[in-house]
Amino acid sequence: MLLKPRTTPRELLFLRTLSPRMMFTEEQMEDYINLEKGYEGELKFDALMDNQKREHLLIRDLFLTCNKSDFQLDNLLFTPERIYQLEVKNFEGEHYIETEAWYTSTGKQIKNPLLQLKRSENLLNQLLYKMKANMKVDSYLIFINQEFTLYSASQSLPVILPSQINRFLKKLFKDDNTQNFIYPRQKGIANQLIKLHKTETPYMQIPEYNYRKLKKGLVCSHCMGWMEVSIQGRVKCSHCSKEEFYLSAIERSVEEFKLLFPNEPLTVNRIFNWSGGCISRKTVQRYLTDRYKKNGKGRSIFYEKN
Ligand SMILES: [Zn+2]
């Protein structure tokens, strides 16, 4: 039973929307690629968990605070005896550990992911203690990318390599007793944790942007190329030739605009301009009138959620 699904991280939504429309610095680009890759890894792991036949209790993507410290959990799996904290990493290539420091094959030191794992485990334990939930937490780092190798990893580390994932999951879900995997008490604790989930992530790193400087147009949802007018009722990607109906293209445009400029009034002109004039003012107006509440008069007409 999935008690809380995963949603696309807000920071990633911003970066996806901004990247084709402005120049990122090298560092911003690297952050964006890492975030995209991390999310892709989490979705891959989600698919593996969704394939498990045995009924289980799972929370995805929790953002919590304990003693003024924020921490994030990729997956929490509840079994009758314990809670498994499963953190997914989509690292690629060769890595090695030397006296507890992690390096890539080129010798570049990276943040030790085990420290982050331990930190969130400690905070989760403190939180569970406060909630009087007497449950043991076991934490694992799961490396999901088949192209990942780790040298000098001691067997005692809570690390699951790509070739070990299936065996690891099999063991987690082992059917060695006939008892149910889901108990009301565990479900109660899980729901209490979900109630504490914070929706706003305070440490989003988004490049500065302003409306005037951003490139306008419709971005292809498939390849991020630019869309152009095609046959009636559709736009077509100039790069991959994917076609899209006007309505879905306007909808994406409106969502992007609302994400980047939540305090700006939604007007026909703005969306017409934002989508690079690919879709006529009349079509944009029809879309907004159908789905939003019209406010104001004459030139100051704007649209709001119904
Ligand atoms: Zn395309």
Q: Other CB atoms closer than 10 Å to residue 278's CB: what's the count?
A: 21
End-to-end CA distance of the chain: 33
Q: What's the 236 CA to ligand 1 centre distance in angstroms?
A: 8
Q: What's the 15 CA to ligand 1 centre distance in angstroms?
A: 18
What pLDDT does 177 receive? Answer: 57
Q: What's the 224 CA to ligand 1 centre distance in angstroms?
A: 6
Q: What's the 227 CA to ligand 1 centre distance in angstroms?
A: 7
Q: What's the 235 CA to ligand 1 centre distance in angstroms?
A: 11
Q: What's the 241 CA to ligand 1 centre distance in angstroms?
A: 6
What pLDDT does 281 receive? Answer: 92
Q: What's the 46 CA to ligand 1 centre distance in angstroms?
A: 26
What pLDDT does 176 receive? Answer: 57
Q: What's the 225 CA to ligand 1 centre distance in angstroms?
A: 5
Q: What's the 213 CA to ligand 1 centre distance in angstroms?
A: 23
Q: How do residues 80-126 score in pLDDT, each as one tens digit?
A: 888 999 999 999 999 999 988 999 999 999 999 999 999 999 999 99
Q: How far apart are CA 67 and CA 122, in angstroms?
A: 11
Q: What's the 153 CA to ligand 1 centre distance in angstroms?
A: 42
Q: Which of 72, 73, 86, 43 is nearest to 172 (CA)?
A: 86
CATH architecture of 211-305: Orthogonal Bundle (1.10)
Q: What's the 229 CA to ligand 1 centre distance in angstroms?
A: 13
What pLDDT does 134 receive? Answer: 86
What is the b/e burial string over 30-61, where b = at least 16 CB atoms within 10 angstroms of the residue's CB?
ebbeebbebbebbebbbeebeeeeeebbbbbb
Name the residue ranges covered by the structural domains of the chain: 2-195, 211-305
Q: How far apart are CA 281 and CA 102, in angstroms?
A: 55
- Strands 82-89, 136-143: pairing is parallel
Q: What's the 218 CA to ligand 1 centre distance in angstroms?
A: 10
Q: What's the 240 CA to ligand 1 centre distance in angstroms?
A: 4
Low-confidence residues of the chain: pLDDT under 50:
none
Residues in the chain: 306
Q: How far apart are CA 11 and CA 107, in angstroms?
A: 29
Q: What's the 239 CA to ligand 1 centre distance in angstroms?
A: 5
Q: Which residues have CB atoms below 5 A from the ion given as ligand 1? A: 220, 222-223, 225, 237, 239-240, 242
